């Protein structure tokens, strides 16, 4: 049982006042109220946005609730990939299904990520990125974190799994961990 709600907007209203609308409510008896029977009103939080332009076609009301993500209106219900080429659709499918680990514990379980981490450590050692030093008394070493990315070919196939060891420089405190905020560097060829 639906109600017809009439939205009345005065044409002489200023643009800033367009969010305010008068809603005329039908007269209803108390037994008509209950779950799903109340008069629906637009949210005042959405008054600054155009919310009536998206229409969903050929979807049942039960398909609105995505059980896996918990998102009430998944983007996939409104975005159509029919205009993309078949090759680009394969690429989009590969990109959206790739699973990049967010922690070391997840990555170490997979041989591809273990190999990617081994290559990263080997590259850092080959480039002599660091030297092992003894810390001064009372000082702590800066932390590090692994970042994992899947690199794709243009056809959507996986080119490689890349692991990056990054230093958590955002944990440093100026004056305690460092004194300089900028260290200019130049190639000897340009000097």
- Give the C-alpha separation, 84 to 95, whole Å: 15
Q: Per residue in 92-124, pLDDT tens?
A: 776 666 688 989 999 999 899 999 999 999 999
Residue 150: pLDDT over 80:
yes
Predicted confidence at residue 155, as pLDDT, reads 74
Domain assignments of the chain as residue spans, ordered by start: 1-53
Mean pLDDT, range 10-16, rounded to an integer: 45
Please, which residues bridge with residue 144 across strands?
A: 167
Between 95 and 172, the higher pLDDT residue: 172
Question: Does position 172 have pLDDT exceeding 70, yes or no?
Answer: yes
Q: For 18-44, what is the mean pLDDT?
A: 60
Structure confidence at residue 27 as a pLDDT band (50, 70, 90) = low
If you average pLDDT over residues 137-150, what whole number do you get? 88
Is residue 20 scored above 60 in pLDDT?
Answer: no
SS (H, E, C) the chain: CCCCCEEECCCCCCHHHCCCCEEECCCCCHHHCCCCCCCCCCCHHHCCCCCCCCCCCCCCHHHHCCCCCCCCCCHHHCCCCCCCCHHHHHHHHHHHHCCCCCCHHHHCCCHHHHHHHHHHHHHHHHCCCCCCCCCCCCCCCCCEEEEEEEEECCCCCEEEEEEEEEECHHHCCECCCECCCCCCCCCCCCC
User: For 131-148, what is the mean pLDDT?
Assistant: 88
Closest CA to 159 of 107, 108, 101, 91: 91
Per-residue pLDDT band at 28 (split at 50, 70, 90): low
Specify the pLDDT at position 126. Answer: 94
User: pLDDT at position 185, please?
Assistant: 75
């Amino acid at each position: 049982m639906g109600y017809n709600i009439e939205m009345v907007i005065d044409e002489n209203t200023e643009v800033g006042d367009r969010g305010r609308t008068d809603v005329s409510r039908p007269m209803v008896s108390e037994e008509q109220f209950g779950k799903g029977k109340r008069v629906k009103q637009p949210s005042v939080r959405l008054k600054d946005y155009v919310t009536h332009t998206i229409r969903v076609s050929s979807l049942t009301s039960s398909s609105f609730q995505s059980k896996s993500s918990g998102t009430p209106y998944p983007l996939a219900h409104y975005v159509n990939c029919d205009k993309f080429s078949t090759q680009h659709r394969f690429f989009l499918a590969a990109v959206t299904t790739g699973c990049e680990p967010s922690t070391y514990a997840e990555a170490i379980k997979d041989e591809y990520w273990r190999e990617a981490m081994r290559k990263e450590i080997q590259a850092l050692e080959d480039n002599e990125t660091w030297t092992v030093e003894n810390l001064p008394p009372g000082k702590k070493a800066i932390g590090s974190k692994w970042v994992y990315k899947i690199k794709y070919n243009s056809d959507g196939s996986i080119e490689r799994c890349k692991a990056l060891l990054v230093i958590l420089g955002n944990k440093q405190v100026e004056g305690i961990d460092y004194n300089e905020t900028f260290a200019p560097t130049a190639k000897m060829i340009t000097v």
